[in-house]
Structure 1
Amino acid sequence: MFFTVLIILVVIIIFFMRKPQNFPPGPVWYPIVGNFHILKSLSKSEGGQHKAFAKLSKIYKSNIIGLKLGTEKLVVVSSFDLIKEVAYGHEFNGRPRNFFLKLRSMGTRKGIVGTDGEHWKIQRHFVVTHLRSLGFGLKTMDDMVREEVTELLSILKQSKENEIKIVPIISVSVLNVLWRSLSGSRLDRSDPNLQYLLDLLDKRALAFNMAGGVLNTFPWLRFISPEKSGYNLVMELNKELKALLMKTINAHYETWTDGRDDDLIYSFISEMKKSNGAPTTFTEDQLLMVCLDIFIAGSQTTSNTLDFAIMMMILYPEIQEKVRNTLNEAFDKIEHISYNCRGRVPYIEAVISEVQRYCHVIPVSGPKRTVKDAILGGYRIPKDTTLLFSFYSINNDESYWKDPEVFRPERFLDSEGRLSVPERFAPYGFGLRRCIGEVLARTSIFTIFGEILRNYMIVEATGSQKPTEIFVSGITLIPKQYEAKFIRISH
């Protein structure tokens, strides 16, 4: 009996440790945990999961690393050419069917971010078409951002050079641009529930990384340690977001009229009504998840980019001064800064691009899933393998950037001072899963950054710790909290 049990255990161990034939190189797989303990240890010692992936790439001398987290096979791609191949390859265009994405979508497999196949195509096309009809990139979008910028500048003016944390102010402004595109209305900045929601989003971003965190690897932990594993946090956030979104959706039901399409929710309800009971992907659950996708995916990355941009202006005052001089030369004192006029100030776009590259706002992107067995870089990637992109590696590649550790906006300008952005620099992704809200994000970042820098000189807070370039790692990277003084400039 003892030997029978022993043999069974040995067989189980061999099964869990065995890698698929010609799978990408990587550390040995251990039973149950896979490589979770190794990745966690490296992430802690190196300063983030993105740096752990880079370390493994060096150890195994490969731009493709094969890992296993629990039962999930994971491949991390760190080469631009290979990332591009995955980004445009239909065999890599699935989304993982793991616990993290299930949690993110409130137990459903709906929305846009976490779906694939025909459902994803239909819903993505609808959202992109709707956003275009609202005037993304046109005057309508500029007007939406302008209203938020006006309020933001008013708040800064009222601070009277007090030392403040700019992130909460900017976060609400960005969130309101998104909220208006969804619902046609704004969130009340004074509403305490709004700040509570923003705090939950921040905690969520820190509790998980792009590989899903401990909860994705060991879903059963939610029964043993729901608080420490982050399960309670996600459930609380889901509850708050659902209440907020459903309140707005129900209000739209009450005021909807046939064919109404002046915001995304009205447009979606109009599509729902067209089905007349026939099978359709346009359901209330789907509407809720589309709103959630836009709400979560758009708010934090845009806010974090602006947070980083302001921090870098404090750390590099000579660049801050050049930004301000460039804006003053290009725009009249009474003229609004507009994204449509960005061609006048290529240096500003270069600065924003360098912030995104240098600060690695999204160091790891994805996740994607192979929908069938595939070959990548000579290695076999089995069906249902999860793939991640290491944008940290390609944005930190010395063979291309020469001095990636230096903050130098001029790298995005050609010899005549015109904007020159290489294909490999893709802060919004590329290929089949490119960010659908890219123009909205670019418009918000350019306009908010430009107007703040034109009107205020930003310096570190008196007696406080200087902002540091050691960032906090989660799903995205964020700066450590800092305070700054905004000194109004007379025009």
Structure 2
Amino acid sequence: MELGGAMTIFLALCLSCLLLLSAWKKMHKGGKLPPGPTPLPFLGNLLQLKTDETFKSFMAVSQGVALANGERWRQLRRFSLTALRNFGMGKRSIEERIQEEAQYLLEEFRKTRGLPFDPIFFLSRTVSNVISAVVFGSRFDYEDKTFLSLLRMINESFVEMSTPWAQLYDMYSCVMQYLPGRHHRIYHLIEDLKAFIAERVKINQASLDPNAPRDFIDCFLIQMEKEKKNPNSEFNTKNLVLTTLNLFFAGTETVSSTLRYGFLFLMKYPEVEEKVHQEIDHVIGRNRVPASEDRMKMPYTDAVIHEIQRVTDIVPMGVPHTVIRDTQFRGYTLPKGTNVFPLLGSVLRDTKYFSHPEEFNPGHFLDENGRFKKNDAFVPFSSGKRVCLGEAMARMELFLYFTTILQSFSLKALLPPKDIDISPKVSGFGNVPPTYEMCLVPR
């Protein structure tokens, strides 16, 4: 190699090292950070992460990525809570919608005639219809092809979000966006979902009556009109589509995944299912439709549902956030712009609050007299200002679906309980339930 060429390469390497060192210093300026392994320039702590065990890896290095924060988050969250309450969240009307959907589900379950089936889309359809009635103003027919396509995209998106490819894209989007690979799949899925919602927005705009809002989209459109002269308003079409997608996606996947996982646990622990059956028969009976007020009289069933949520830990790393100003925390300084993951799974498995955290044991939520016992470490919906928007609706759905289904059916596994594998299909942003088949036997 000629001397000039060698010198060019040497200078290029030196310049690259200087740029990386400069970037690394900028990343770590501004205060005393909490303890953790030293990040490398550009790579950060990637080498300490196991992409197939993301939660365990983040437990060790405590880093993450961020979603919306600041004024946008405050405006949209405040509005969304109000709109959801106006459409019955936490009131009698939403309970009636859940009860109605649960009856449609029973009809579909009876059609299985005790034969093996995969519960994924049975549960996705019924749960999704509850949130659909709120955000779109109506439910979908179970055989609607567009509806089934949407549910497949949501289910696949949840899986893709938890793959190693998606995690790498999150950390290195500036590079990964130009490289071919599976990580682009999630982008196309989300864009297709956004396109569907954008079309529904157009339909609502064409027939909007400001004095009679039909759903969440109508409420948002009315607010957009009210604030059209406000330059700082976050009420625009882009945020309408994204907020609706967030509600639709979360309202579909998290509850249906918890139900799927819950049935798997009940088949693995049939003695638990039997005790739930006994409590249902004693409090509700075989003929009356279960109601949310029954929960107070059913401590064991309530404890079982809580334990299912605790052990399944559907979103173990919680929803990520960004520090919007320099923040003091336990003697450390988190500079503005630092990304933080709450790691809810660490609390749900804390031995200080749960005697045997790795075991499925409804006793974690029962006192010595068999009464339901609250636990401050039960935070599957997060806590504080960032608590899940749909917590009240999700809690009601889980109770009503579990009791309605177990009132009418016994679960039958295709394997002996000891052979049932409860390991997640994928574990990353979410713990995706394993694929399985089951049978329902009428009681």
Give 1:285's aligned residue. 238
Q: 1:368 to 1:210 in 2, by over 3 A?
A: farther
In structure 1, how many angstroms separate the alpha carbons of the residues matched to 2:314 and 2:151?
Answer: 18
In structure 1, how many angstroms separate the alpha carbons of the residues matched to 2:120 and 2:384?
Answer: 31
Give 2:364's aligned residue. 411
Give per-residue Cα distances to partners, 1:252-275, cap 9 Å, x unaligned.
223222322232122222222334
Given the alignment, which residue of 218, 222, 230 partners 1:266?
218
Q: TM-score, normalised by structure 2?
A: 0.90
Q: Which amino acid aligns with 1:270?
A: I
Give 1:480's aligned residue. 434
Superposed, 1:434-473 pairs within 5 Å as: 434-461=387-414, 466-471=419-424, 472-473=426-427
Cα displacement (A) at 1:277: 4.7
Point out where structure 2 has 5 or more consecutive residues left out of the alignment. Answer: 1-6
SS in 1 for 2:318: strand
Q: TM-score, normalised by structure 1?
A: 0.81
CA contact (8 A) 2:351 2:357 kept: yes
Superposed, 1:289-304 pairs within 5 Å as: 289-304=242-257
Give 1:221's aligned residue. 176
In structure 1, how many angstroms separate the alpha carbons of the residues matched to 2:354 and 2:39?
Answer: 34
CA contact (8 A) 1:24 1:66 kept: no
Q: 1:464 to 1:334 in 2, by over 3 A?
A: closer
SS in 1 for 2:41: coil
In structure 1, how many angstroms separate the alpha carbons of the residues matched to 2:83 and 2:116?
Answer: 41
Cα displacement (A) at 1:250: 2.1
Q: 1:390 to 1:463 in 2, by over 3 A?
A: closer
Give 2:198's aligned residue. 246
Q: Which amino acid aligns with 2:225?
A: K
CA contact (8 A) 1:135 1:141 kept: yes
Cα displacement (A) at 1:146: 1.2
Q: 1:244 to 1:307 in 2, by over 3 A?
A: same
Cα displacement (A) at 1:10: 4.2
Give 1:131's aligned residue. 84
Give per-residue Cα distances to partners, 1:23-63, cap 9 Å, x unaligned.
22222322322122331xx343xxx2112233x2xxxxxxx
In structure 2, how many angstroms separate the alpha carbons of the residues matched to 1:146 and 1:267?
Answer: 25
Superposed, 1:245-394 pairs within 5 Å as: 245-275=197-227, 277-279=229-231, 280-394=233-347
Give per-residue Cα distances to partners, 1:315-369, cap 9 Å, x unaligned.
0000000011111100133211112331111211111110111122221112111
Q: 1:460 to 1:285 in 2, by over 3 A?
A: same
Q: Is the aligned partner of 1:192 residue 2:145?
A: yes
Cα displacement (A) at 1:16: 4.9
Q: 1:157 to 1:441 in 2, by over 3 A?
A: same
Q: Which amino acid aligns with 1:313?
A: L
In structure 2, how many angstroms separate the alpha carbons of the residues matched to 1:118 and 1:194?
Answer: 34
In structure 1, how many angstroms separate the alpha carbons of the residues matched to 2:335 and 2:381?
Answer: 27
Give 1:36's aligned residue. 46
In structure 2, how many angstroms separate the alpha carbons of the residues matched to 1:66 and 1:165?
Answer: 36
CA contact (8 A) 2:51 2:167 kept: no
In structure 2, how many angstroms separate the alpha carbons of the residues matched to 1:271 and 1:15?
Answer: 45
Q: Which amino acid aligns with 2:270?
A: P
CA contact (8 A) 1:315 1:467 kept: yes
Superposed, 1:66-81 pairs within 5 Å as: 67=63, 74=64
In structure 1, how many angstroms separate the alpha carbons of the residues matched to 2:304 and 2:230?
Answer: 51
Give 2:58's aligned residue. 53
Cα displacement (A) at 1:6: 5.3
Give 2:18's aligned residue. 11
Q: Is the aligned partner of 1:140 residue 2:93?
A: yes
Give 1:153's aligned residue. 106
Give per-residue Cα distances to partners, 1:212-263, cap 9 Å, x unaligned.
61112222222221x42x22x2332233212321232222223222322232
Q: Which amino acid aligns with 2:394?
A: A
Identity of aligned residues (%): 26
Q: Which amino acid aligns with 1:351?
A: V
Cα displacement (A) at 1:455: 1.0
CA contact (8 A) 1:260 1:270 kept: no
In structure 2, how many angstroms separate the alpha carbons of the residues matched to 1:317 and 1:66?
Answer: 38
SS in 2 for 1:459: strand
Point out where structure 1 has 5 or more consecutive residues left out of the alignment. Answer: 57-64, 68-73, 75-94, 97-113
Q: Which amino acid aligns with 1:149?
A: A
Q: 1:392 to 1:66 in 2, by over 3 A?
A: closer
CA contact (8 A) 1:16 1:29 kept: no
Q: Which amino acid aligns with 2:158?
A: A
SS in 2 for 1:400: coil
Q: 1:311 to 1:431 in 2, by over 3 A?
A: same
Q: Which amino acid aligns with 2:56?
A: K
SS in 1 for 2:209: coil
191-200 or 385-394: bigger deviation: 191-200
Superposed, 1:40-119 pairs within 5 Å as: 42-44=50-52, 48-54=53-59, 56=60, 65=61, 67=63, 74=64, 96=66, 114-119=67-72
CA contact (8 A) 1:17 1:28 kept: no
Cα displacement (A) at 1:462: 6.2
Give per-residue Cα distances to partners, 1:295-326, cap 9 Å, x unaligned.
12221111111111111000000000001111
Cα displacement (A) at 1:187: 1.7
CA contact (8 A) 2:267 2:417 kept: no
In structure 2, how many angstroms separate the alpha carbons of the residues matched to 1:326 and 1:155?
Answer: 25
In structure 2, how many angstroms separate the alpha carbons of the residues matched to 1:31 and 1:465?
Answer: 47
CA contact (8 A) 1:460 1:466 kept: no
Cα displacement (A) at 1:449: 1.0
SS in 1 for 2:352: helix
